[in-house]
A and B are shown apart, each in its own frame.
Chain A
Amino acid sequence: MPDQEKIVFTRAEEKNGQGTSRLRIAVIGGRETVMGFKALGLTTCPAANAQEAREALRHLTRDSEDYAIIYIEETLAAQLSAEIDIFKDSPTPAIILIPGREGSIGLGQSALKQAVERAVGTNILGD
């Protein structure tokens, strides 16, 4: 009897894990970029260069499944495209590029362009 109860319990837990579980959001970027997000309660990973950003990304995606959204600063993401592309087809995590302190360099738009090109076969947005 106690065995059965245990099984029921773990199943309920699993279901909870897949449904509306408590997930977290992370931001990878330069120290100044990340600072503000910390106050909002997001997990922040300051990274000074691409190498550090790569390690942070690896850490966030491999060691835990808690992170559903990861925001990455464009300037760093430019050098991590291979790593970012891996997650394009999986439902989680969503990796979203955000502009850094210096303003947008247009890389964020590239995700849009890539998706359109992939789906339609050509860029029909005209830019």
Chain B
Amino acid sequence: MANTAVTPTRMVLNQLKGRLKTARRGHKLLKDKRDELMRQFMDVVKLNKQLRVRVEEGLTGAFASLQVASAIMSPEMLEQALLYPRQSVELGMDFKNIMSVNVPQYSFHTKNNDPSEIYPYGFAQTSGELDDALDKLARVFEDMLELAQVEKTMQLLAEEIEKTRRRVNALEYVMIPELEGNIKYISMKLEENENATKVRLLKVKEMVLQDAHHYQQ
């Protein structure tokens, strides 16, 4: 594991120790971030599941009513009735920060606040079933809006969790072991040098003593 490209000096050792400390700290922080993101994510997933079921049921109901309406009225009449909308929707969007992930928050305004204004036609030539269908659709639409917000949040959180998880894994299984390996390599090399120096000194001392006093061991 030890990368032989590192130079075994005390300075590099100190640098590597500093980096290891930073990596450990970063690893801990990212792990905490991942756990918190995951907790938020599971809440969002639960909400999304409920909303999805509600929207699908609501839409199926609304479409069924619309089907009935289109069976009663002629296609041309139906088309004409819905051709020119009286209502118009404006969407406001803000961003909310969840663990540094910017998720959209929608707020919506209709131009006409009167709920009865959703019918863009006169009542004389249309059937009651059409009113019913539009009413259902208008009601399910609020859920649809929330679903859009929740689903986008879910996707953005999923992306962030994936990224964070990769970073945590990279630190845990690559960066930190590599740094540790390098530190071990350098400290062993330094120790070895130290031993070599000690032995050399002993040898030199012996030689000097022998030279001076014809000292024999």
- Give me the interface of A with B, judged by CB distance under 8 Å: 19-25, 32-33, 35-42, 68-69, 71, 88-89, 91-92, 94, 96, 98-101, 103-104, 108-109, 111-112, 114-116, 118-121, 125
- Output the least CB separation between B81 and chain A (Å): 8
C-alpha gap A119/B86 in the complex (Å): 43
C-alpha gap A68/B2 in the complex (Å): 51
Which of B5-13, B24-32, B87-95, B200-208 interfaces with chain A? B87-95
A41's contact among B59, B78, B88, B159, by CB below 8 Å, is which?
B88
B66 touches A119 (CB 8 A): no
B144's contact among A41, A68, A98, A103, by CB below 8 Å, is which?
A98
- Give me the interface of B with A, judged by CB distance under 8 Å: 38, 41, 45, 48-49, 52, 55-56, 59-60, 62-63, 66-67, 70, 78-79, 82-83, 85, 87-95, 102-104, 106-107, 110-111, 118-120, 133-134, 137-138, 141, 144-145, 147-149, 151-152, 154-159, 161-162, 165
User: Which of A23, A24, A36, A91 counts the most chain B CB atoms within 10 A?
Assistant: A36
A104 touches B104 (CB 8 A): no
A36 touches B41 (CB 8 A): no
With contacts A94-B151, A101-B67, A115-B45 taken as known, whether A37 is within 8 angstroms of B156 at the C-beta atoms is: no
With contacts A71-B144, A89-B156 taken as known, whether A39 is within 8 angstroms of B45 at the C-beta atoms is: no
SS of B interface (majority): helix
C-alpha gap A37/B141 in the complex (Å): 9
With contacts A36-B137, A41-B88 taken as known, whether A111 is within 8 angstroms of B104 at the C-beta atoms is: no
Residue ID in chain B nearest A35 by CB atoms: B82
* Chain A contacts for B149, CB-based, 8 A: 94
With contacts A36-B134, A88-B155, A98-B55 taken as known, whether A41 is within 8 angstroms of B87 at the C-beta atoms is: yes
Residue ID in chain A nearest B49 by CB atoms: A112
* Chain A contacts for B56, CB-based, 8 A: 98-99, 104, 108
A91's contact among B91, B95, B147, B162, by CB below 8 Å, is which?
B95
Additional 7 contacts, C-beta under 8 A, given A99-B59, A101-B63? A25-B91, A36-B62, A36-B134, A69-B91, A91-B104, A112-B52, A120-B38
